[in-house]
Amino acid sequence: TPHGSCHPIGVGLRENFTAHKEQAMICVQQSAIAQSPAARGLSLYAELIVRTPFLGFSTYEGTRFALEAEGILPEGMPWPEGFREHSWSQGSLRMEIRRKRPDGIKGPRRDFLDVDWWECRIEPASAPDYSARYIAEKALELQAAIHAQSPAGKAERRRQWDLFVTSMSDDDFQAFKAKIPGLIKPSRGTRQASVRGASA
């Protein structure tokens, strides 16, 4: 559809693996994540997106198959319906899972009540609230800015620049980088050629 809205799909693993995989990817393939350079060459059905927005806080995002394969969910965990949440404790961690609309996909929420795309949040059970985390992050940014303007910070920046210049002329290193999906953005000419090829 023009806005990328998706047809709902079941969340249970099908006996027919191939059919379920195709259904699970209906929304994901239209998402902003799938269009990013980092997704080139990857199967988002089986890969997880891991984010660490705050200290001690992380999120795992992906299909049910990918989350179960990662082994971070308790065996026999009840999967929440619709956009409900399910939370539990594991040692010193608090974990929560909920269905999520893939980034960049538009449409009414009711169209995504069965979409196979989930977010699992992990944080310390005694984690500080958002305001405290925000202040801690800003304090670290201030420390980094002060260090960057110090003699030691300027020397480190010069060293990093020299290493960068050296790496640009290292053919073996550049060949290695080219093998990592999404690390090197395709040139404008390559993208245009891909579009022309797809429309041919």
| pLDDT at site 149 | 95
| pLDDT at site 15 | 44
Half-sphere exposure (CA, 13 Å, Cβ side) for 164? 6
Which of left, alpha, beta for 56 (phi over 0: left; psi -120 to 50: alpha)?
left
Q: What's the token pair of residue 79?
A: 């999967």
| pLDDT at site 199 | 47
| pLDDT at site 50 | 86
Q: What's the token pair of residue 156?
A: 């480190």
Spatial contact of 30 and 4, defined as CB atoms under 8 Å apart: yes
Burial of 100 (0-12, 13-18, 19+ CB in 10 A): middle
Q: Please give the model's pTM, rounded to 2 decimal places.
A: 0.55
Round to whole Å and give the CA distance between 146 and 108.
46
* pLDDT tens over the chain, length 200 residues: 333 334 333 344 444 445 444 544 556 665 666 656 656 666 666 778 888 877 678 899 888 888 998 888 988 888 998 889 999 988 888 999 999 887 777 778 787 788 888 999 998 888 777 788 889 889 999 999 999 999 999 999 999 999 999 999 999 998 998 887 667 776 665 555 544 554 44
Spatial contact of 34 and 44, defined as CB atoms under 8 Å apart: yes
DSSP string, 142-173: HHHHHHHTSHHHHHHHHHHHHHHHHHHT-HHH
